[in-house]
Each structure stands twice: as C-alpha cells, then as structure tokens.
Structure 1
Amino acid sequence: MSDVKTQDPKRRALGRGLEALLPSRQTAPAPTPAPAAQTPSGKPLEVDVTAIVRNPFQTRTRFDEDALNELAQSVAATGVVQPIVVRALPGGKYQLIAGERRWLASQRAGKKTIPVIVREVSDEQAMEMTIVENLQRADLNPMEQARAYDRLGREFKMTQEQMAQRTGKERASVANFLRLLKLPQAVQEKVEGGELSFGHARALLALESEAQMLAAAQKIVALSLSVRGTENYVKGLLDPERKLGKVKADEEPEIDPNVKAAQDKLQRSLGLKVRIEDTRGKGRVVIEYSNLEDFDTLLTMLSAN
C-alpha cells in the first residue's frame, strides 16, 4: 500500500473512517501521552468513563434529552456497540474526539467503562476531526452547522469547496449554512431553539435590515407560518403590491394541473387570456380583453353558447 501522503486530496473524503480524514495535513507533533496511556493499536480499549474529558472543540451544544435517554437504555441493555474515539492526555486522562452521545449515555446507564479507540493526533487534528465528524451527522441544528463551517474556514483557512469535500456536502449547501450567521443573534437563537427551521431562516435573509428580520421572525413564530408561508410573507414585505394581492404580469401563480388544463382549453376556445383562481373547488374565472372589439366578440360567443 502506498504512503497516504501521496494520495490525491480529493480521495480524502467520506467512507474511510475518521482516522483517514486528516492523513495529509502537516501538523505539529502530537503531545507525548502519559505513561498510563497505551500506544494506539486500532483495537478498542475499555477505559473508565470518569477518565474521559469533553472535547473543547465540540460543535454540538444541544442534545435531545429524550433521544439521549433512549440511547442510555440501549447502552444499559446491550452496551456500547461502536467504540468512541479519543486521544491520550497527560495524567492518564483521555479527550473525546468522536462519540460524545455514547459517552454521555454510558454515564446515564451507570456504566463504569466504555470501549475506546485511541488516536495520536495534535490539537489541530483533534479540532478538525471533531468538527468534520459532527458535520457528517444529521443531528446538528442549523446554527451549530453554520458555526462549525465558519470555524473550519477561520481556523483552517478552508474554502467552501474544501469544506464540502471534507464533509461530503454540496458547496451550495455549505454557503447557505454560512449565510445564517448574518441573521441577528435573537433570530439565530430561535433557529437554534427549533422555533424557526433552516427554510424559515433562509427566507428571512432576503430582508434588508436586522430590524426587519427580527420583526418578521417574531411574526412567523407567533402565527406558526410554514416555510412557504414565510417565503410569501417576506416577498410581501419586499413587494408591497404583492402584499396587497397584486400579482406581477411576469409571474405565474402555481395552480393545480387539472385547473391549468381547463384554463388552457378556455383560452384556446375564446382566443383570450383566461385565469382560473381555484381554492378547493371554489373560485372564479377571469377573462381578459384588450379592446371593445374583443369584448363584443366575447359577449357574442357566450350568448351563442
């Protein structure tokens, strides 16, 4: 097998495990482990849960208590199936790199030890591995993801394209998460607390000022608006005519395919522009004419029918 340092950087992505995420980064030597720490061998070790300390680079700040309790029940019944990843610290301690939920659940389950894989990594490697591992998971809230990408950019000078390659995401997705950091702090807190979704937050970014964003966010939460409703509400704030219900000539409202077919049939029969506004079987038919001749022709056709 060739030296990992000669591999194409584009191949250092998902599917190879955390230990393969950072093989080619040039970093400072890892700190010498304390005598009690065993040399990494790739084999799980049973380590006292109290000897493990939380990673200060952890991206996740909130945990679902119900989900954590369910995991604790599973750990109590069957143990920890997948070892957590740690690095050795002086004094016989270990610092988490990946697997904080399993570690917390083990404590709740009353476990004395937990299986671990020990890795020799520097501070920089531990930080990047923790952030990337978290971003590959689906349980980070949007603001946690946004701050994680921002930290990768600031701490490691990564471009959005590089972040996308490391985490297996689309570059556009990375850019959209980073844009959330432009929201006012109060709005970010609503997103982080689950009051507003990623879709709500993206829609709010179209507004021009932080004051507008905050006021709109409060109304969205108060009215329990959907993402689609939020998008329409924001468009109404940006376009007063739309807010009053006036649709621009170059915009086509979304309609049911059956209604669209009936609308097209009427237009072909009358030779005039027809608009059917339907809401659950109720609505109106609007026939447009541009001059009196068209109007007279329409009357004649309707009278003849």
Structure 2
Amino acid sequence: MPTATADPKRRALGKGLESLLPSRPAVVPHIAATAVEPNGKPLEIPLDEIERNPFQTRTRFDDSKLAELAASIAATGVVQPILVRPISNPTGQPHYQLIAGERRWLASRRVGKSTIPAIVRQVSDEQTLEITIVENLQRADLNPMEQARAYQRLSQQFQLTQEQMATRTGKERASVANFLRLLRLPESVQLKVESGDLSFGHARALLGLDTAEAMASAAQKVVALSLSVRQTETYVQGLINPEVKSKKEEKNKQEMDPNVREAADLLRRTLGLKVQIEDKKGKGRVIIEYSGLEDFDAILTALGGDAGK
C-alpha cells in the first residue's frame, strides 16, 4: 500500500508562526507552577491574569473595527484562541503575557468577558518578539510604517536578510525591500503615512526625491491638493526633471484652444492662484492649486460660496 505524501503547498500554509513555536519547551527562567496544556488545547484563562505584550509592534488599533469585533465576541464568543506565555509573578499566582491576539483580548475586556480561550506556550523573550512581529506582518491591517518598522526590527535584532524575512512572513522579497525603503522618509512624512493621509503608493513616489526637505515639501503639497498616486508620480517627475515639465507645459499651452487659454488666464488673474484647464473637444476639468486656507477661502468666495460657514 503506497504511503501518502504531504502536499508541499499545504506544508507551506501558515509556516510563519508554526516555524517559530518550539517543538519542546524553551529554556526560560523559573516560573511558578502554571497550567500549560501539553497537547496545545486552549485553556480558559481569566483576562485579569493576562498582561499586554511589551514587544507589540502595532501602534494603532481601529476603534470601529475593535467595536465590531467586540460585538461579535459578545454574540458568539472568541472563535480563535489567543497565544500567551507564563511569566513570573511575585504573588506566586498564575500570570501570563500576550504573544498574539491583542485585539481579541481588548475586545473581550470591552464587553466584560471574565475569561478568554488561550494556548499557553513556554517561549523566551526573543521568541516572543519574533513571533509577535511575524504574526503582525501576516495580517493585512498594519499601516505601511508599522510594517516597515517591524521588518526593521527583524533585520536589526535577528540579523535576518530580506530573503529570510520574506520566507518567514510569506511575502515577496521585493515587497520587504519596498517597505524598508519607507524608513528613508523624513519623520513628518512618515507620520502622514501612518495616519493615512498618504498611502504606500504616495510614499513610494516621494522616495524618488533626493533630500528629506524635498520629500517633506512635496508631501505637504500632495496632501493639500489631495493628489492621487498617479498625479503624485507626475508631480515628483516634474520636480526631478523640471526642463521636461516646462517643455511639456509649453507644448500643451501652444496646442490649447485660444478661448480656453484666455479663460485660464482670467481665472489666474481673478484668483491669484495657479489654474490649469484640461480641455478635449469641449470636455475636461479645471484644476485650481491652493497652498493654504486663505487661498481656499478665496476660491469659495469667487465661486459664490460663503467661506465663513
């Protein structure tokens, strides 16, 4: 009877966390007697006996999504156990530290749960840090800067290459490299990426500029004008190659219908702002650039709006 061979694709699934969990207990400091289920079955552990993970790389939790999770837990309970490790406690009572599952832990506390299903593993500080980082990177809701800093910690604290990080997290090596490049952005721009004012695509485009000052200045304009990623790429290319941009603008100006050009000049004189009209056979759009609230108020006033509202 032929022996069954494991499907290599199935072996690869979820290898990130499993590859980090030891098959036998790690060497850890002496801890007071704690219930550790040897077969990996979850235990119901009091929430008050669990403390937050000091190695957590996630800095932001979406409150609306946390509220949705809390409502789900209130209705059906915690479907997937959290992962914890036992830690020493001066009182001698069982005490645990989160490794993975902080959102489930927070949501359970929010709805007043007294216990939560948890799998207990004996792991070292180093293993806890690595598991936490990999678990976060395998999720889809980390913002780009959180991902970049997580990869940086894996590189610095575990001396992992980009190829090794890609293997551990199931990502492409090029993706790892692109996230690490975000750390070249000045802090002011990183904050805009972290808050969601700029996307990963915007950030990649800004990295084409040579200096931190140029990146910061361009980022301010991108946010102020709500430029798309494609528009940001065009804008950055114009900053890198101003001669090409000037020639293109001159060509567009020469090809522009005289009546459209006159209308654009009139708007520029009236508003005192840069105005561009893109016209194709009577259809197009008017682009007005402003650099502050005063300019924006002037636009509203010129259009008949009440800027004081």
Q: Residue 90 of structure 1 aligns to a residue in which SS?
A: coil
Selected match of 1:215 from 214, 217, 228: 217
Partner of residue 53, structure 2: 55
Partner of residue 42, structure 2: 44
- The offset of 1:38, in angstroms, is 3.2
Give deviations 1:179-206, integer Å, cap 9, x for gaps. Answer: 0000000110000000000000000001
Selected match of 1:71 from 54, 69, 73: 69
Distance in 1, matches of 2:137 and 2:243, equals: 41
Are the equivalent residues in 2 in contact too, given 1:27–1:125 (CA < 8 A)? Answer: no
Selected match of 1:132 from 125, 131, 134: 134
Partner of residue 4, structure 1: none
Distance in 2, matches of 1:27 and 1:197, equals: 42
Distance in 2, matches of 1:17 and 1:224, equals: 38
Are the equivalent residues in 2 in contact too, given 1:13–1:21 (CA < 8 A)? Answer: no
- The offset of 1:80, in angstroms, is 0.2
Partner of residue 17, structure 2: 18
Indicate how the Cα distance of structure 1 residues 19 and 177 shifts in structure 2: closer, same or farther if over 3 A, else same. Answer: same
**Structure 1, unaligned runs of 5 or more:** 1-10, 248-277, 284-305
Are the equivalent residues in 2 in contact too, given 1:13–1:167 (CA < 8 A)? Answer: no
Are the equivalent residues in 2 in contact too, given 1:142–1:191 (CA < 8 A)? Answer: yes
State which structure, 1 or 2, has the greater radius of gyration over its C-alpha atoms: 1
Partner of residue 164, structure 2: 162
Q: Residue 248 of structure 2 aligns to a residue in which SS?
A: coil
Are the equivalent residues in 2 in contact too, given 1:14–1:166 (CA < 8 A)? Answer: no
Are the equivalent residues in 2 in contact too, given 1:27–1:122 (CA < 8 A)? Answer: no
Indicate how the Cα distance of structure 1 residues 32 and 133 shifts in structure 2: closer, same or farther if over 3 A, else same. Answer: same
Q: CA RMSD in A?
A: 2.6
Partner of residue 239, structure 1: 241
Distance in 1, matches of 2:85 and 2:38, equals: 9
Q: Normalising by structure 2, what TM-score?
A: 0.73
Identity of aligned residues (%): 68
Distance in 2, matches of 1:28 and 1:158, equals: 21
Give deviations 1:15-65, integer Å, cap 9, x for gaps. Answer: 2472433549x9971233321443543011001111111111111110100
